[in-house]
Amino acid sequence: MSKVADTVVGFIGLGNMGGGMSMNIAKSGYKMIVHDLDRSAATPILEFGAEWADSPKEIAEKCDVIFTSLPGPVEVEAVATGENSLFEGISENSVWLDLSTSSPTLIRRLSDTFASKNATVMDAPISGGVRGAQRGLLAVMVGGDRDTFDRLLPILESFGDKVTYTGDIGAGSICKLMHNSIGYGMQMILSECLTLGVKAGVEAEALVECIRNGSVGRGNLLNVTLPETYFKGVFDPPNFALKLARKDVALALELGREYDVPMEAASHAYNELTAAINRGWAEQDSRIALLLQEERAGNIEVRLGDDDDK
């Protein structure tokens, strides 16, 4: 990366997330030029010393590195190739990084478009919320050219404390979409179990504390259990036997019927565990049931190397 003083950074989209990220870049010493549909959103960073641009095109004309933080694919495409767009103003060797949660297919197509001007496109969606954006505590999932990633790492680390290179263009967006889908799926099973637990007579405070203190709340699934079993493809000897896992879920469903609480997500888990038992896997580790989805996806294997087994 060139010296901070020599790098002009553009930032488009100064909302709740973009406002915090752009300010952290500016606080790291980079010269900033910013744009937003609502100029008042730029007030804090303009007062800090950034310059204003009237359009994405002007940003692209004046900046070496450009970030966008936008609501979704429609806005990303409009800023990229619409009227007074980035593409109209971008020059050779400039880099555009899209921080939005957007479409991997779109960013790959736009990358090809910008390559006609010898400009580089990266997708770099983020996770961590508004507070994380303000404090520089964000996960940044970057897809695109590896050398460009290495060169821009100091800027990325100005607003993200966990920056990961994910692979070719579009890989960052795929990681973000998978991350968010997991989170919202977990919310569904969580809401089922919390409502059932409270309806069955447990105080919400006690129930939440028990979940926080248990294996789920401690993050053991991703950090311990899956690395020891599923990510290695090793299910024997069992950490917790499949037949016992189904027994636990069956008891929860029985309680749900008793208290008239629908348990759609838990029912799906029960069905998966049952299908795995019917494969003859009852005595193996319960995580072996995850192989059913690998099979449905076309025999895709999700395995980590020893270096990733942490």
Residues forming the active site: 176
Could you give the CA distance from residue 105 to residue 175 in angstroms, rounded to a whole number? 13
Q: How many CB atoms lie within 10 A of CB 242?
A: 23
Q: How many CB atoms lie within 10 A of CB 294?
A: 15
Question: How many Cα atoms sit within 13 Å of 87 on the Cβ side?
Answer: 16
Give SS3 for 162.
strand
Nearest to 158 by CA among 131, 137, 128, 142: 137
Query: Maximum CA pair distance of the chain?
Result: 68
Could you give the CA distance from residue 143 to residue 100 in angstroms, rounded to a whole number? 13
Q: How many CB atoms lie within 10 A of CB 109?
A: 17
HEC string of 5-61? HHCEEEEECCCHHHHHHHHHHHHCCCEEEEECCCHHHHHHHHHHCCEECCCHHHHHH
Nearest to 255 by CA among 187, 189, 195: 195
Helix H or strand E encompassing 141: strand 139-143
* Dihedral angle of Cα 104, 106, 112, 118, to the nearest 10 degrees: -90
Alpha helices for the chain (secondary structure H)? 16-27, 43-48, 56-62, 73-81, 86-89, 104-115, 129-135, 146-159, 171-199, 204-213, 220, 226-228, 242-258, 264-277, 291-296
